[in-house]
């Protein structure tokens, strides 16, 4: 039996086609309405809207392409109303060019605003150095999982010897080290896992649906893989990991993070380069 699939409007090609289509529909509709109005009544602002929509939800090129459609309809409507002395047809050409320039300015300003908003949103949710989710994003993701999962595991990781790298090789070397650690960790993540940099040399991993035994096993494999990578890159560091498993729905992020942090420091006190685990009930958090 054949199945029906919805159109995914998030795909660039589909979105571009829809934005061009809305430009064509608006151009035709406005041309009809404009010609039906008394000469001198202006619909100027409505000719700009489809290009603005295309620029905002698509890109500058799409905005300009729709702008050509709208400017053509706009100029043709003006010609129909005989607003210009046709002994001087270049008046119509000049004003058509001015209309298009106005649309392009709107497209440019909207694209600049969209870029600024996207950058602000990205900075609010990601760590600028590694590109990983930041603490705020990790908190939101963790709280969502806490409210709906019966079991989840959180890894809290600290880089042993990171301060020595910064002190001896400089902060640029320290930044390079953190970027390489992030890349190594990302390679071992499942699709549903959330890896974040919480700040400094501390990373956290959210593992929905993972038991304590599975979490400890993964933490040790990740730590051993990082150790091999650090030897390969020549970094004199190791990793201490706190493993916290939460059973039952509910719980508060800050309490859970405190427990995971405590296990990480327990690993450090035990000699570093190891994992220490704890399991708690969500109701206790």
Active-site residues, by number, are: 201
- In sequence order, which residues have a C-beta less than 8 Å from that of residue 249 and are 6 or more positions away? 146, 147, 148, 149, 150, 282
Q: How far apart are CA 267 and CA 158, in angstroms?
A: 10
Q: How far apart are CA 195 and CA 186, in angstroms?
A: 7
Range 89-95 contact pairs with CB under 8 angstroms and sequence separation of 24 or more:
none
Per the listing, tokens 């190594």 go with: 184
C-alpha torsion angle, residues 25, 27, 31, 37 (rounded to 10)? 90
**Residue 161: left if φ>0, alpha if ψ -120 to 50, beta else—which one?**
left
Return the closest-CA partner of residue 110 out of 56, 58, 70. 56
């Amino acid at each position: 039996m054949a199945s029906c699939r919805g159109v995914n409007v998030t795909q660039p090609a589909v979105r571009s086609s829809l934005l061009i289509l809305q430009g064509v529909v608006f151009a035709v509709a406005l041309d009809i309405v404009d010609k039906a109005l008394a000469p001198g009544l202006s619909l100027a602002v409505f000719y700009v809207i489809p290009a603005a929509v295309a620029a905002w939800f698509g890109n500058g090129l799409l905005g300009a392409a729709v702008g050509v459609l709208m400017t053509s309809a706009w100029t043709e409507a003006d010609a129909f109303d005989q607003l210009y002395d046709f002994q001087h047809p270049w008046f119509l050409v000049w004003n058509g060019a001015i209309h298009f320039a106005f649309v392009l300015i709107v497209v440019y300003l909207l694209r600049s605003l969209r870029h600024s908003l996207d950058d602000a949103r990205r900075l609010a949710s990601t760590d600028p150095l590694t590109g990983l989710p930041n603490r705020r994003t990790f908190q939101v993701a963790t709280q969502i999982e806490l409210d709906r999962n019966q079991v989840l595991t959180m890894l809290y990781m600290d880089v042993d010897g990171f301060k020595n790298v910064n002190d001896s090789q400089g902060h640029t070397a320290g930044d390079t080290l953190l970027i390489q650690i992030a890349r190594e960790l990302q390679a071992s993540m499942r699709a549903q896992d959330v890896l974040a940099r919480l700040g400094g040399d501390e990373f956290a991993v959210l593992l929905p649906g993972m038991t304590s035994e599975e979490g400890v096993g993964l933490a040790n494999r990740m730590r051993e893989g990082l150790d091999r990578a650090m030897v390969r890159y020549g970094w004199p560091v190791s990793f201490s990991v706190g493993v916290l498993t939460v059973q039952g729905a509910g719980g508060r992020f800050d309490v859970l993070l405190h427990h995971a942090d405590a296990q990480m420091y327990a690993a450090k006190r035990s000699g570093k380069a190891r994992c220490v685990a704890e399991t708690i009930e969500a109701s206790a958090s």
